[in-house]
Structure 1
Amino acid sequence: MKTLSRLFLLLIFLLLVVGCSGNETSSEGNEKEGEEIELKDPAEVGYPDEITYWTELVPNVAATSKSLNDVAAYQELEKITGTKVEFKHPSGEGTDITEQFNLMVASGKLPDVIEYNWRTVPNGPDHAIEAGTIIRLNELIEHYAPNLNQYLNENPEVKKMVTTDDGNIYTLPFLRGDESLMVFLGMITRQDWLDKLNLDVPSTISEWEEVLTAFKNEDPNGNGEMDEIPLVVQLNDFKNIGAFVGAYGIHAQFYNDNGTVKYGSIQPEFKEFLTTMNSWYEKGLLDPDFAAIDSKLMDAKVTNEQLGSFFGFSGGGIGKYTGLMEDKNPDFKLSPAPNPSLKEGEKAATGHLEHAYSGMHSAAISGSAENPEEIVKWLDFAYSEEGHMLFNFGIEGESYEMIDGYPTYTEEITDNPDGLPMTQALGKYIRASYGGPLIQDKRYLEQYYELPEQKEAAKIWGETAENKINLPPITLSAEESEEFNSIMSDLNTYYDETVIRFIMGEEPIDNFDDFVETLKGMGIERAIELQQAALDRYLAR
């Protein structure tokens, strides 16, 4: 019954998205689309008395706080602006958040501010504006958000990212303020194992095979058993980010070849990648659990001294496991490894690289909001110099001190008296550690990365991938989105199952051409055309 109820509500949501231009929310939203409303004199607009605000409460904040009202940055913001905020936090993680977002929109009972990845909503942000779910913000930002407006005008490439093909700005965005903040995922290996076996950190595919073979055969954990697992790379690591695939000059998914969109997994180079992965799997170099491993199993493999290398985060990988193993094995040491290439001295075609704007944790104003000018002014405070310090570093004298002009976290953050890990200590004070409508400061990351290996990781991963083929944050129209999702839904299921079968040897690599033809029969060429149209529009913005 619960499942049927959810399906019914989701059906209502889809109907609302398709045709709610005649309902009450829509008429309110259309009256507030910027050009159609009479803008007030900015000097006459103050901060709102109160607002309602829907956003996820991430685990590192939920560990110490019931609501963002408990976070010091928002407590201080209320003192400065006088605005009382009623935060509405959905429960759950991942797909649960998406489901609850859809149910909220379907209900028609919308808060003033909704923080979400609006770039990925069904039918796109332009349609959400047309439907009156959220409002166009261009003119409101120009008049009432001087700090954000100045930043966007000084950074035209970022402004292009936050603007739709129809010319609409739809959120006050979470922005990564420096290139060092855009790379935080890559290959990680056991440096202490390399040292024991007199091996260098691998940088090419052939060097990786040599290292993985040594990890398997030469007992680097020293327990006298051949229980080492040389490598874990999961499906999404190479499918969505390009781990190892970039060595072959392509991305596994859609990529930009000098203005032409291609789909990497139907290229001959992807067959070469699959051949290598199948070979490593057959030789016992790739974890047999790679297709089904979860975070708990990954933790167990690392802390049980079994795993030699993996694709992971600089913070949640290098930092996390170094901390967990500090008392258990003082010799334990992880190092970042370059994005591998086929030849020494070459760069991988692609690796992990976030855009300055990806859409995550950005704030839109709903069509139900009665005072959008005041809300925009309130949200813009985070982009001011004072707000920037508040949301990146917290309260001066409590969570940070200015030392030689540098905002330095205090021991409340770095060596918390209650024993909180740094991520949770930061969550009590700031938002920069996980996003929000603000500009993230690189000085936050410089201190969050306590280990030299973490600081080195962003540099190594960033410098060893060209990333010229990565697609910018393009958006599809409502019609294109519906068609694209219809194609990719079944196609991705077939793709995931078949690629795993190729790697595990259950599907012969000789059947790769049949795989390509099946993808074409399922509509991949039409999906490429839709992505091409979106890229062309993006480049013309």
Structure 2
Amino acid sequence: MKRKLSILLLSLLFMFAALFLAACSDDSDTDTSSEDDDATEENESDEPLTLTFFNADGEEKSFDDPVAQKITEETGIKLEMDYPVGGNDESIPLMIASGDYPDLIFAKGDIGKLIEAGGVIKLDELIEEKGDNLKELYGDQLDRLRNSIDDPSIYNVGTYGVEEARWETSGTFQVQLDVLRELGYPEIRTLDDFEDAITEYYEKYPEIDGQKTIPLSLLGSDWRWLITVGNPAGFAAGIPDDGQWAINDETGETTYKFLLPELKEYFKWLNGMNDKGLLDPESFTHTYDTYISKLSSGRVLSIADQSWNIGDADAALVADGKEWKTYAPLPVTINEEYKSQGLKDYGFAGGWGISISSTSEYQEEAFEFLDWMASEEAQILTNWGIEGENYDVVDGKRVLQEDDRERKNTDADYPKETGVGYYLYPFPQWGNGAVDSSGQPITPDSEQNIIDNFNEAEKEVVAEYGMENWTDWFPPEEDLGMSNHGAAANYTIESGSELEIIQQKADDLTEQRITQAVLGDPADFDASWDAMIEELEAMDIEKANELMTQKTLDVMELWGTK
């Protein structure tokens, strides 16, 4: 009996042991599975979040340069960047038609179309709740981000610096440094002075390096017609850069600028330049690449262009040892009655910026990313690059490494390859006049750095004129005053509005008719111009003037500047 009980007891003990081991085994398996799941989730959370970003001014570029990698490391965000292929300006309308939007959108002047279509969200609440960096950045300029009197919401942030110092000028007439040296450093203030200088040099040197010398070249075959043909006409007439408009900054009265007699006077001069063989005959037909190739050869004596548009040519000239073939900006106007507006202070322009789409699944993450881009940490990174790789801290101050300083001045691909300076526009940016919490400039492009980075030819020329910087030639910004209305080129024109329709027709007409008038017989110029004015009046350009005047007044009311 005892033996049977012992066997039974032993069997029961084995059974309990087996059950216990099985239970332990199950618990162990369960715990391991849970740990594996946690590890998987942790690994997944370590992966950066990809936000799609359409940039209307973008180019083919992957978000993998060193600065981009650092941005991802700090924010957990990676950008998948898209841009309009072949200069296509239908990208935004196509987005609206399909309802397929990227997470982030820089639409430039098409922002109004997106707002009307409900394609972007209002940012007011997000700025208030979690936009500490943006609020600090914009401060009392925040109202300049607002859309309109009727809809004073904020739909975008970024694009332009808030604290901008004018240590450089752009968009004016520019002439080769060698022209100035060869002619004994003449004073060039008017169109006549400008024409005399390039004519004299051209007659002395009809060929450069075995190729025909080109006295003046423009790029009027694409959208850059506005940059190299339309805008210089206004600048020569002493009109600030308000796109296609001339604005009385006190009253807000706005006029389509090609109606003004000063503009006729400028284009009549340009027509004469063409008739004398001083204007590149391909100015209205050659491509951008051909234009840059001509400039890079060193045989184009003068241009009327923005510095950012000729950066590749400038870098190529310096790299080829042709520093004397680079360009000096000139404060040229029609005559001495007009004052160059090259250093005009427009204040923070507002208007354009990066928006968050209404269909994005990551709206909060997208906003947090934009807010981080406005932080001091981000501004130092995007302006200077990575400490130890692009710059060093010497005696408590940031100093670009010599290789980076050299490449920044001579290599047009430097921003794209390194990321240094690449992610400023159109993101929120402090501006080149801002300083960080230690009092240091937020950008390496301080005035002294600009002067220090002049090539040897530039240094010699400014010294000959008794200047330190090219801006010394121009009327100082304190004499020009700050614009009460900002820059009209950045105003949002409502899609499909009467103003948009009339202006588009007027822009198309003036580009065509002015080009024809410039290239035509001088004897026909007056008749051609008068016919264009009649066509503008027939399309009710005065109505556009009235509507744009009201928009300007609304902006001034919204900003509290009138």
TM-score by length of structure 1 reads: 0.75
SS of the residue 1:508 aligns to: helix
Instruction: Name the residue aligned to 2:505.
Output: 490
CA apart distance, 1:169: 0.7
Instruction: Name the residue aligned to 2:53.
Output: 54
* Contact 1:71 1:428 (8 Å CA) reproduced: yes
Q: 2:154 aligns with which of 138, 144, 169?
A: 169
Instruction: Name the residue aligned to 1:340.
Output: 332
CA apart distance, 1:516: 1.0
Instruction: Name the residue aligned to 2:30.
Output: none
Q: 1:121 aligns with which of 111, 120, 134?
A: 111
Matches within 5 A, 1:176-195: 176=161, 177-180=163-166, 183-195=169-181
1:221–1:485 Cα change, 3 Å: same
Q: Distance in 2 between matches of 1:353 and 1:294?
A: 33
Q: Distance in 2 between matches of 1:298 and 1:138?
A: 44
Instruction: Name the residue aligned to 1:23.
Output: none
Instruction: Name the residue aligned to 2:82.
Output: 90
* Contact 2:92 2:107 (8 Å CA) reproduced: no
Larger Rg: 2
1:94–1:411 Cα change, 3 Å: farther
SS of the residue 2:514 aligns to: helix
Q: 1:296 and 2:289 equivalent?
A: yes
* Contact 1:204 1:343 (8 Å CA) reproduced: yes
Q: Distance in 1 between matches of 2:159 and 2:134?
A: 11
1:280–1:186 Cα change, 3 Å: same
1:222–1:425 Cα change, 3 Å: closer
* Contact 1:233 1:290 (8 Å CA) reproduced: yes
CA apart distance, 1:107: 2.6
SS of the residue 2:172 aligns to: strand
CA apart distance, 1:486: 2.3
Q: Distance in 1 between matches of 2:56 and 2:296?
A: 29
**Unaligned segments of structure 1, at least 5 residues:** 1-45
The one-character-per-residue Cα deviations of 1:384-443 (angstroms, maximum 9, x if unpaired) are 2212212222221122222344332324633569x9926435643345565132315522
1:459–1:429 Cα change, 3 Å: farther
Instruction: Name the residue aligned to 2:99.
Output: 108
The one-character-per-residue Cα deviations of 1:135-158 (angstroms, maximum 9, x if unpaired) are 1111210110101112222x42x6
Instruction: Name the residue aligned to 1:269.
Output: 262
Q: 1:232 and 2:217 equivalent?
A: yes
The one-character-per-residue Cα deviations of 1:116-165 (angstroms, maximum 9, x if unpaired) are 1354335463x24xx2x111111210110101112222x42x63145433
1:255–1:59 Cα change, 3 Å: closer
SS of the residue 1:168 aligns to: coil
* Contact 2:50 2:77 (8 Å CA) reproduced: yes
Q: 1:243 and 2:252 equivalent?
A: no
Q: 1:395 and 2:386 equivalent?
A: yes
1:459–1:316 Cα change, 3 Å: farther
1:173–1:192 Cα change, 3 Å: same
Q: Distance in 2 between matches of 1:244 and 1:390?
A: 38
1:457–1:295 Cα change, 3 Å: farther
SS of the residue 1:376 aligns to: helix
* Contact 1:182 1:355 (8 Å CA) reproduced: no
CA apart distance, 1:190: 1.5
Q: 1:324 and 2:341 equivalent?
A: no
* Contact 1:416 1:425 (8 Å CA) reproduced: no
1:189–1:149 Cα change, 3 Å: same
1:302–1:349 Cα change, 3 Å: closer
* Contact 1:60 1:424 (8 Å CA) reproduced: no
Q: 1:80 and 2:74 equivalent?
A: yes
SS of the residue 1:55 aligns to: strand
Matches within 5 A, 1:437-476: 437-442=427-432, 443-446=443-446, 450-451=453-454, 453=458, 456-457=469-470, 460=473, 463=476, 466=480, 471-472=487-488, 475-476=491-492
Q: Distance in 2 between matches of 1:277 and 1:351?
A: 24
Instruction: Name the residue aligned to 1:147.
Output: 133
Q: 1:278 and 2:271 equivalent?
A: yes
* Contact 2:55 2:82 (8 Å CA) reproduced: yes
**Unaligned segments of structure 2, at least 5 residues:** 1-44, 433-442, 460-467
Q: 1:531 and 2:548 equivalent?
A: yes
Q: Matched residue pairs, number?
A: 476
Q: Distance in 2 between matches of 1:423 and 1:304?
A: 19
* Contact 2:268 2:525 (8 Å CA) reproduced: no
1:294–1:401 Cα change, 3 Å: same
SS of the residue 1:337 aligns to: strand
CA apart distance, 1:56: 3.9
Q: Distance in 2 between matches of 1:50 and 1:223?
A: 53
Q: Distance in 2 between matches of 1:47 and 1:180?
A: 43
* Contact 1:124 1:478 (8 Å CA) reproduced: no
Q: Which moved more, 1:386-395 or 1:453-462?
A: 453-462
* Contact 1:216 1:284 (8 Å CA) reproduced: no
1:239–1:175 Cα change, 3 Å: closer
Q: Distance in 1 between matches of 2:167 and 2:96?
A: 32
Q: Distance in 2 between matches of 1:514 and 1:331?
A: 45
* Contact 1:400 1:409 (8 Å CA) reproduced: yes
CA apart distance, 1:95: 2.9
Q: 1:378 and 2:369 equivalent?
A: yes
CA apart distance, 1:535: 0.7
User: Could you tell me the percent identity over the aligned residues?
Assistant: 20
CA apart distance, 1:272: 1.6
Q: Which moved more, 1:350-359 or 1:204-213?
A: 350-359
Instruction: Name the residue aligned to 1:29.
Output: none
CA apart distance, 1:330: 4.7
* Contact 1:145 1:380 (8 Å CA) reproduced: yes
Q: CA RMSD in A?
A: 3.9
